[in-house]
Structure 1
Amino acid sequence: MTDAVSQPDQPETFQGGQSDLFSKFDPLIQMRENLLASGVEDPFGLVMERVLSPTTAICNGRETILLGTYNYMGMTFDPDVIEAGKQALTDFGSGTTGSRVLNGTYAGHRAVEQALCDFYAMDHAMVFSTGYQANLGIISTIAGKGDYIVLDIDSHASIWDGCKMGDAEVVPFKHNDIEAMEKRLKRIPEGAGKLVILEGVYSMMGDIAPLKEMIAVAKKHGAMVLVDEAHSMGFIGPNGRGVAEDQDCLDDVDFVIGTFSKSVGTVGGFCVSNHPKFEIMRLVCRPYVFTASLPPSVVATACTSIRKLMHAGDKRAHLWENSRTLHAGLKDAGFQLGTDSPQSAIIAVIMPDLERGAAMWEALLHEGLYVNLARPPATPANMTLLRCSLCAEHSAEQVQQIIGMFKRAGAKAGIV
């Protein structure tokens, strides 16, 4: 009798001989089991029992500082935002139960799209149910079979999925490498449709793209440009419009993708554009047409938050101060960071491996600090990261507390 272990190409079977479609996940299942067997808490199963503010919550029965929520501008507990959501819930009910092209467009949906147009000083705005859907919908609709997409290798999963769904030819290039991007563009056949996709801030390492130079190269080769500003909208730039505004090249961007689940403090996604034909997207973009629209209470909170972010210069300045202070404090303590200097509200702390990263994550949680444990394959170069995302509502005292927590946890976990 042949030992099944000696036949790796045969699919695993269960329940009357059916092939087990879950067998492809066995390595990940084993990795998780090994991690939990070492005695650490499940870093991907944390429950927040109560959220007290944008910067604190009750986790495992104790008050915990939040440093992994992407709540960059701290709008989740803004009194005006909360009141707007309550009023919309009273006036319009809990949901639309329909698509935007059917019964799912309420006054609030038009209002939040107008707020986005005003925020970005652009002509058109289109709101999706999530930021993921915004990338999925816009990319898959505008770039299809026969077109070419040139994108950074470190692009977000939603960008890659949008490329796959649209069936365009995908041409990746080395992260933030302008020369590599231009080489790819030069090889595209003359007359083919071209879309260059970039991100303002890359969410794993917190580094920014040289958008001004990259967009100039893209335009030289006749490509349209889409920039995902999910992690910079509201914070970076004089008016919070993102890295493209900060680098004075926003007028050269054809499509800006963003999300409500970061600085805006709720949920949803959007695309803004000045393209004169953009409104046809409402009839041809499947992830927009074939999904229910956001609840009235959500668009009301988003609209109020966006309009307040237009006048949030002091909050932006304080968040930058927090980022500089934390980056310097962790660097001085001996931690290896993802960037040489603070470039955004994200600070990535590089861990030696997943096991010690999980141990450090748990040590921080016991100190009363929550951060994100990021692991391969989501991370660049298969790194394990502790990803910190600062908030404009973190006080200077809290940032100093955080530095002390990292020092103590790092010594306990043997990281520093």
Structure 2
Amino acid sequence: MLEKFRALRAEHAAVSAAGRDPFGVAFDTVLSATEAVLEGRRVLLLGTNNYLGLTFDPDCIEDAAEAVRSLGTGTTGSRIANGTYGGHAALEARLARFLGRRSAMVFTTGYQANLGALAALAGRGDHLLLDADSHASIYDGARLSAAQVTRFRHNDPDDLRRRLRHLSSQPGEKLIVAEGIYSMLGDTAPLREIVEVKREAGAWLLVDEAHSLGVLGESGRGLAEAEGVEAEVDFVVGTFSKSLGAIGGFLASDLDGFDALRLSARAYMFTASLPPSTVASVTRAIEVMEARPELREALRRNGQRLHAGLSAAGFMLGAMPSPIVSLPMPDRERAVLFWNRLLEAGVYANLALGPATPGGKPLLRMSVSALLTPAQIDAAVLAVARTGEALGLIGTALEAAE
């Protein structure tokens, strides 16, 4: 039964043979939002998506602990059975208020939010138009939807326009899906242009703000807020596992009849609901995110500092400064070697390999936190620069990889 995974096991073994297994790193302990202990040594966390550093926020921790003490460790049921507590409904109302939307529903993971949303919204005879660099959860939700799936070139509104014109004579609803910040390269969608195309075609628009919630916009609502087009976005998907420091996901909208999705989104209906502790910590995290805009400003400065430092060191960087900075690698072997040596130098980053990366090209992916100090970022830049120099992967070598 497992023989079909022979090639995959061989690839995994080849990657692990160069040192540690990059997909099986187990920290001895996590000390804070920025540091952990691995194999008895302190390492700097530069690959966690802990954008606002709220995993160790004292108020979030205390609310989670109190929820465990008063409501137990889990619900043991789905939302349509025994899995809806008062906190779930309160979180949905709080989230809707923060997003400026009439309605919101909470899923147990961000992955399930995309699965549930896309599979329920688009049915047989409808059309889903996906950015080619969409997250796996978007592609998987599209497969479950039974809709016709059309990919358009990454961040290319003109290609989207051409494909919608080609579909204009076909019946069915057209739903465009874009992301606020794309998780591999850290680039943002050209949302104003996509909105213009949406208007022309009479289509619908869903934006996944997973990596942009708490990061972009004056209030932290994401790219749609930053671009001033929230009224043109019909559905917002997001996750609690980035800026909000926990786990879970959501779908929000202003459309009438939204609650019908609670009866049709299978990823919502047939899985256990979030435990009370997570509901409590996320609810508090929204409060913290609103009350402390300085965290967003610190995150912006840290992203710029990392990007500028690596650029000055000679690395060829693609995306504009954001909390995500990725270094293109010329091949898998050197990407694995770079990742291992960087970890030996005390910096944990993400090794990103195809097919999960744009074009299947290997990347060394880093993400900053608002709680990283300038000294920590400078230390990380120095470690990355020394590793890149030792491997001959600064400047022209990486430029050729793009």
Give the TM-score normalised by the residue count of structure 1.
Answer: 0.93
1:346 to 296, 320, 324: 324
Which residue in the other structure is 1:137 paired with? 116
One-letter code aligned to 2:283: C
CA distance in 1, matches of 2:10, 2:66: 48
Which residue in the other structure is 2:333 paired with? 355
* CA offset digits 1:28-62 (Å, max 9, x no partner): 2222222333x422111111110100000001111
What are the equivalent positions in structure 2 for 1:12-411 lying under 5 Å apart? Answer: 21-37=1-17, 39-188=18-167, 189-339=169-319, 341-342=320-321, 344-411=322-389
CA shift for structure 1 position 311: 2.3
CA distance in 2, matches of 1:232, 1:413: 33
CA shift for structure 1 position 381: 1.3
Q: What is the DSSP-based 3-state SS (H/G/I as helix, E as strand, rest coil) of the residue aligned with 2:150? A: strand
Q: What is the DSSP-based 3-state SS (H/G/I as helix, E as strand, rest coil) of the residue aligned with 1:187? A: helix
CA distance in 2, matches of 1:34, 1:389: 26
- Contact 2:326/2:364 (8 A) holds in 1: yes
Higher Rg: 1
CA distance in 2, matches of 1:324, 1:291: 40
* CA offset digits 1:289-325 (Å, max 9, x no partner): 1111010001000000012111221111111111111
CA shift for structure 1 position 283: 1.3
CA shift for structure 1 position 190: 4.8
Which residue in the other structure is 2:398 paired with? none
- Contact 2:125/2:171 (8 A) holds in 1: no
- 103-112 vs 74-83, which moves further: 103-112
- Contact 2:49/2:368 (8 A) holds in 1: yes
Gaps of 5+ in 1: 1-20
CA distance in 2, matches of 1:161, 1:353: 27
* CA offset digits 1:80-122 (Å, max 9, x no partner): 0000000000110011111111111111111211221121111
Which residue in the other structure is 1:14 paired with? none
Which residue in the other structure is 2:397 paired with? none
One-letter code aligned to 2:297: A
- What RMSD in Å do the two structures reach over aligned CA positions? 1.1
One-letter code aligned to 1:327: H
Which residue in the other structure is 2:399 paired with? none
- Contact 2:130/2:149 (8 A) holds in 1: yes
Aligned length: 393
Q: What is the DSSP-based 3-state SS (H/G/I as helix, E as strand, rest coil) of the residue aligned with 1:261? A: coil
One-letter code aligned to 1:322: N
CA shift for structure 1 position 411: 2.4
One-letter code aligned to 1:404: L
CA distance in 2, matches of 1:94, 1:58: 27
Confirm whether residue 414 of structure 1 aligns to residue 355 of structure 2.
Answer: no
Which residue in the other structure is 1:15 paired with? none
One-letter code aligned to 1:225: L
CA distance in 2, matches of 1:379, 1:25: 20
CA distance in 2, matches of 1:414, 1:358: 14
- Contact 2:16/2:22 (8 A) holds in 1: no
CA distance in 1, matches of 2:295, 2:224: 20
CA shift for structure 1 position 391: 0.3
Give the TM-score normalised by the residue count of structure 2.
Answer: 0.96
CA distance in 2, matches of 1:35, 1:91: 46
Spell out structure 1 runs of 4+ moving beyond 3 A: none
CA distance in 2, matches of 1:90, 1:35: 43
CA distance in 2, matches of 1:275, 1:261: 26
CA distance in 2, matches of 1:260, 1:236: 15
Q: What is the DSSP-based 3-state SS (H/G/I as helix, E as strand, rest coil) of the residue aligned with 1:219? A: helix
- Contact 1:119/1:307 (8 A) holds in 2: no
CA distance in 1, matches of 2:128, 2:288: 35
One-letter code aligned to 1:74: G
